[in-house]
Structure formats: structure tokens, C-alpha cells
Amino acid sequence: MEKDQVIRKRKILYAEDQEAIARLVEFKLSQEGFEVIILNNGGNVFNKVKELKPDLILLDLMLPIKDGLAILEELKSNENLKNIPVIMLSIQGEEQKIEQAFKLGVIDYIQKPFAIHDLSERIHKALA
């Protein structure tokens, strides 16, 4: 590899209002070479995705200001953002919510609590 060739870190935007979970995920994914951007509410997710164009979005279902399903609908209806893979994370195991998330375009739905290595595997699979 050329010495001036730069390897771009893959960016993951993570919308999560529980700081302990967000920091754990950020730590693990940073160790794997990802750049992780954390937002602690749903209010600015759409604009941040437009600005940063992440490789993948981790989206909590229950967020302050705007919930994950509303954000997902907004992202998937935008021509420039609709192809960014979204993995939804939630404590909600309601079948109706899960079905709605898949109808709106998530590629995976992970119920909390989750094993961090499972999340990592599913992120790698989504980006493959």
C-alpha cells in the first residue's frame, strides 16, 4: 500500500439515549476500527445523516424528541439516504413494532439487552 493512501474508517451513526449502552457500543466498535458518532435523541438524526453520510445507522426505537420509526421513515423516503443500512435496537419486543420496522426498511432488529459480540457480527454482516 502507498504510504500516502489513506484508509477511511467506516462511520456508524448511533442514536441511543441510554449513555451506558451507547458508550459500551462505541468502545467495542472503535476497537474494531469504526468511527462511531453518538446522538442521544432523535431530534437531529436526519440532519446528521445527511451531513455525515454514515456507512450504517444504529437506531434505538424509543428516543426523546423523535422516535426511531419516524426517523426511519424520514430516512427511507429520502433518495440520497435510503440505501444506508439501518439496524434497529430496542427493548420493545412487540411483534407489531418489529414488523413495522422491517416494512419501513430496517435490515435487522436487535432486542435489548443484547450481547455486544452479536451486535458486532450483525454490523459486519450488514456491511459485507
Q: Name the phi and psi angles at 35, rounded to 5.
A: -95, 125
Segment among 14-23, 24-33, 44-53, 85-94 with least mean pLDDT:
85-94
Answer yes or no: is pLDDT of 8 > 80: no
Domain 11-127: assigned CATH number = 3.40.50.2300
Mean confidence (pLDDT) of the chain: 93
CA distances in angstroms from 82 to 9, 57, 62, 73, 78, listed in the order given:
21, 11, 21, 9, 6
Answer yes or no: is pLDDT of 1 > 50: no
Task: For residue 26, name the pLDDT band (cuts at 50, 70, 90).
Answer: very high
Cell of 82: 435510503
Domain borders along the chain are 11-127
Question: How far apart are the C-alpha atoms of 9 and 20, rounded to whole Å?
Answer: 23
Cell of 54: 454514515
Question: How far apart are the C-alpha atoms of 98 and 66, rounded to whole Å?
Answer: 17
pLDDT at 93: 80
Mean pLDDT of 41-65: 97
Read off the amino acid at residue 103.
K
Cell of 79: 433518495
Query: Which of 8, 58, 20, 21 lies closest to 37, judged by CA?
Result: 58
Mean pLDDT of 29-33: 96
